[in-house]
Amino acid sequence: MTIEATYGVPTVALHTDKFDRVVRAVAAQNGMPGLRQAFVPQPVMGKTAAELRAYIDGRDPITKRPVMQEVIEGLTRPPAEGDPAAVEFDRSTPRLVEPDTEENLHRLFLERDWTDKLPIILPTEERVAAMLAATRRRPDEVVGHMRPTHFREAWEYTVEKVAVNAVMAGAVPAYFPVILALAATGVSARGSSSSSLATMAVVNGPVRHEIGMNVGTGALGPHNHANATIGRAYGLLSQNLQGGSVPGITYMGSMGNNYAYNSVTFGENEERSPWEPFHVQHGLAPGDSAVSVFTGCRSTAFTLGLREKYWREHVRNLLRGLDPHTPPTLLLDPITAHQFIDRGGFGKKEALIDWLYGAATMPAGEYWDYQLVQNYIYPRATFGEEPWASKLQAAPDALIPMFRREDIHVVVVGGETNGYWRIMGCTYQTTCSVDEWR
Amino acid sequence: MESPDRLTVLNPTGFAPKITRKELAARLDTLDGKTVYLVDCRFDDSDVFLKQLQAWFAEHMPAVKTVFKPISSVYLKDDPVTWKEIQARGDAAIVGVGH
């Protein structure tokens, strides 16, 4: 669209057929519903040159016309008579839904894809007003902007809109500042990547205990009202405030992701952690309350404890199990956090992260051959971006770091019923103050 | 007046930006003698696909000059250097493969 609209070059965009609805929707939202687009079968990835040539010689799976006819005509056929010239459309929606019975409203919310397909609390004016009373911020204050992917339009939302979604999720007003802080990150918990990513939200500081969050036994599971509904609110507000999360249109995750039901939301167990809390590592004071968000949650590795003889090898094995495009965040039960100190002498999280960075290596040839590395890292390396440009110089058999050191993180959580621990493959995005939203 | 069994609730959706319609660039009368850039978005083997597309033009429309052009970095980043090159030296563009 940029080449066509900004640089005035007639262009045809080629896509795989699974994306027909989404690319047409994006073109329309960008003011170019007539953008010339042609389609070939999915997948392109992994096909031989001969197979891809057959796509080109074949028919467009959407229009059933020859692919190259679509392409050539797309560059040469003038716009149809009556195509509208430049014009502006306003898409404002009413603040209130048409009054109806409780049963009908539940059906309406479900049919409009405003829920996560589980029952919601209807956001009546009284309930929303009670939620709004939990912050000093004005209802009409803009909180931020959000979008499902980088190439889609960003939608705007206010404190009141966040409150509506918080009510729907079953949250109580005391949780609202945490939910507003999550909304203020601008990071969507309903990203549309075909990789089916989810987010993780880690809460730090006094607010954890003020609202009764679980940081101990079962913290990552469905056992605590605050953890459950704050995480659910983050998902609902993301899908509704960014313009949707509908498969085929605004959500393209091929398999979907169960983590998305409550965005892996929990509090760090600061009291039983031997190290600095996560939010303090990121510039806040211990007495501050904050929430940190991570994206790209798909892969999880786990094991029990750290054995005396081969703990280093076992940790390396877990790290090597991750796709090198997605860095590791260790979720450590306090028992294991202390074991890392006993086994490796890691008196600070930073020391453990240094060791993990050195331990996570693989041969350069293998690294560069990963599909996601090819898609997202190799182009940046060839563009000269470090540290990837230097990695490109390594011989295929040379061991190179799988991750950037600054992308590796450690969070302590759990109730010490045993020393199980996990590695979540995910990318830290930002930490947002909760206190600013009280 | 609202009946007692009817509820008034708030709309949970955010505020969509306004859409400003943009016009397509002028189309070409013919591709013969023209330069068509094949823009590789560097995603999921799109380079292999576009080189086959280039071969198709060489076989079926040899009067068309094609230029295989990978974007400078990842598709997540705007690439004005490449777009300006296409504007200056090309007549049309085919971008692929999106998914």
Tens digit of pLDDT for each residue in A362-385?
A: 999 999 999 999 988 998 998 899
User: Which chain A positions have a beta carbon within 8 Å of B85's beta carbon?
Assistant: none
Residue given tokens 């086959």 in the structure block: B52
Predicted confidence (pLDDT) at residue A88 exceeds the cutoff of 70: no
- Nearby residues of B56 by Cβ (< 8 Å), 6 or more positions away: A53, A56, A57, A68
Query: What per-residue confidence (pLDDT) applies to B75?
Result: 82
| B6-7/A100-101 β-pairing | antiparallel
In chain B, the residue whose alpha carbon lies closest to the alpha carbon of A244 is B13
Using the Cβ of A137 and the Cβ atoms of chain B, whether some distance falls under 8 Å is answered with no
What value does the mean pLDDT take over residues A380-391? 91
pLDDT tens digits, one per residue of B36-89: 999 999 888 899 999 999 999 999 999 999 999 999 888 888 899 999 999 999
Q: Alpha-carbon distance A204 to A96, whole Å? A: 35
Chain B residues 2-41 with CB within 8 Å of chain A: 2, 5-31, 36-37, 39
Q: What is the mean pLDDT of chain A?
A: 95
Query: What per-residue confidence (pLDDT) applies to B44?
Result: 84
In chain B, the residue whose alpha carbon lies closest to the alpha carbon of A127 is B9
Considering CB atoms only, which of B15, B31, B56 is closest to A76? B31
Do A375 and B90 count as a contact with CB atoms less than 8 A apart?
no
User: Which chain A positions have a beta carbon within 8 Å of B30's beta carbon?
Assistant: 76
Q: Alpha-carbon distance A274 to A381, whole Å? A: 38
Q: Alpha-carbon distance A5 to A393, whole Å? A: 38
Helix extents (H) in A112-260: 125-132, 159-168, 176-184, 207-210, 225-241
Predicted confidence (pLDDT) at residue A85 exceeds the cutoff of 60: no
Do A9 and B25 count as a contact with CB atoms less than 8 A apart?
yes
Encoded tokens for A265: 């939301």
Among the listed ranges A33-37, A243-247, A303-307, which one has the minimum average pLDDT value?
A: A33-37
Predicted confidence (pLDDT) at residue A352 exceeds the cutoff of 60: yes
| A327: nearest Cα among A347, A298, A304 | A298
Do B95 and A3 count as a contact with CB atoms less than 8 A apart?
yes
Residue given tokens 């169960």 in the structure block: A258
Cβ atoms A209, A173 nearer than 8 A: no
**Identity of the amino acid at A257:** N
Predicted confidence (pLDDT) at residue B1 exceeds the cutoff of 80: no
Considering CB atoms only, which of B22, B30, B92 is closest to A86? B22
User: Which chain A positions have a beta carbon within 8 Å of B92's beta carbon?
Assistant: 9-12, 75
Q: Alpha-carbon distance B27 to A275, whole Å? A: 63
Do B52 and A3 count as a contact with CB atoms less than 8 A apart?
no
Do A10 and B42 count as a contact with CB atoms less than 8 A apart?
no
Using the Cβ of A242 and the Cβ atoms of chain B, whether some distance falls under 8 Å is answered with yes
Predicted confidence (pLDDT) at residue A348 exceeds the cutoff of 60: yes
Q: How far is B63 from chain A (nearest CA, A)?
A: 13
Residue percentage of chain A with pLDDT more than 90: 88
User: Which chain A positions have a beta carbon within 8 Å of B91's beta carbon?
Assistant: 9-10
Query: What per-residue confidence (pLDDT) applies to A83?
Result: 57
Query: Apex CA A302: angle with CA A301 and CA A308, to 5°?
Result: 125
Using the Cβ of A23 and the Cβ atoms of chain B, whether some distance falls under 8 Å is answered with yes
Q: Alpha-carbon distance B94 to B98, whole Å? A: 11
Determine the residue among A52, A67, A376 to mutate to test chain B binding: the one whose Cβ has the most chain B Cβ atoms within 10 Å: A52
Query: What per-residue confidence (pLDDT) applies to B2?
Result: 56
Q: How far is B79 from chain A (nearest CA, A)?
A: 10
pLDDT tens digits, one per residue of A51-66: 999 999 999 999 999 9
Query: What per-residue confidence (pLDDT) applies to A26?
Result: 86
Query: What per-residue confidence (pLDDT) applies to B98?
Result: 75
Using the Cβ of A103 and the Cβ atoms of chain B, whether some distance falls under 8 Å is answered with no
Q: What is the DSSP letter of A375?
A: I
Predicted confidence (pLDDT) at residue A31 exceeds the cutoff of 90: no
Q: What is the DSSP letter of A408?
A: -
Query: What per-residue confidence (pLDDT) applies to B74?
Result: 82
pLDDT tens digits, one per residue of A98-119: 999 999 999 999 999 999 999 9
Query: What per-residue confidence (pLDDT) applies to A82?
Result: 58
SS3 category, A372 = helix
Q: B17: how many CB neighbours lie within 10 A of its CB? A: 16
Determine the residue among B6, B15, B72 to mutate to test chain A binding: the one whose Cβ has the most chain A Cβ atoms within 10 Å: B15
Q: A50: how many CB neighbours lie within 10 A of its CB? A: 8
Using the Cβ of B1 and the Cβ atoms of chain A, whether some distance falls under 8 Å is answered with no
- Nearby residues of A133 by Cβ (< 8 Å), 6 or more positions away: A173
Q: How far is A398 from chain B (nearest CA, A)?
A: 25
Reported ipTM: the value is 0.91
